[in-house]
Amino acid sequence: MQVADALGRHPLSRYRRYMSTEPFEEVSGARHSTFGPVEIDVGTVGEARVKRLIYPPGMRWSSDIKPLVGTEQCEHAHAGFLVEGALRFEFDDGCTLDYVAPAVVEVAPGHDACVVGDDRAVLIEVDFATDTVARLGVPDAHRHD
């Protein structure tokens, strides 16, 4: 996969300062990973997954995550609690959802998303892997009824 820009910079390099100055404490009971610029701690509770997602300032799904997953939009439902920062979710029809911590978050699949402002965003999320929409009983798409 070609991930460097025209100047040969790796697109994640702009996050390096943030990532190197902010060591991540170990989360008891969770497994740590990274996905692009996102720091993820995942644990399991019963059949659910509980996650802490840390998004760096400047992150946008369509720029930073889309190349890694290959779908046109983020196809995950998001259900959780934004504890730090601000997130914006954007749908195809022009609707946007803005969340500023502290806030309960519920977002249907099929969206772009970005971190708003100069601070990281920290989202605590619950999901059921590929079965999240059915198991949580949340909408499977953004629509106007």
Nearer to Zn ion among residue 50 and residue 97 (C-beta) = 97
Alpha helices in 9-62 (DSSP H): 16-21
Residue 90 beta carbon to Zn ion: minimum distance, rounded to whole angstroms: 10
Residue 97 beta carbon to Zn ion: minimum distance, rounded to whole angstroms: 9
Nearer to Zn ion among residue 51 and residue 142 (C-beta) = 142
Nearer to Zn ion among residue 27 and residue 95 (C-beta) = 95
Residues at the site binding Zn ion, with contacts judged by CB under 5 A: 93, 95
Nearer to Zn ion among residue 3 and residue 95 (C-beta) = 95
**Cα 124 to Cα 140: distance, rounded to the nearest angstrom:** 20
In Å, how far from its chain's centre is CA 101?
A: 14
Residue 93 beta carbon to Zn ion: minimum distance, rounded to whole angstroms: 4
Cβ partners under 8 Å of residue 27, min gap 6: 41, 43, 52
Alpha helices in 1-144 (DSSP H): 16-21, 66-69, 132-136
Residue 86 beta carbon to Zn ion: minimum distance, rounded to whole angstroms: 20
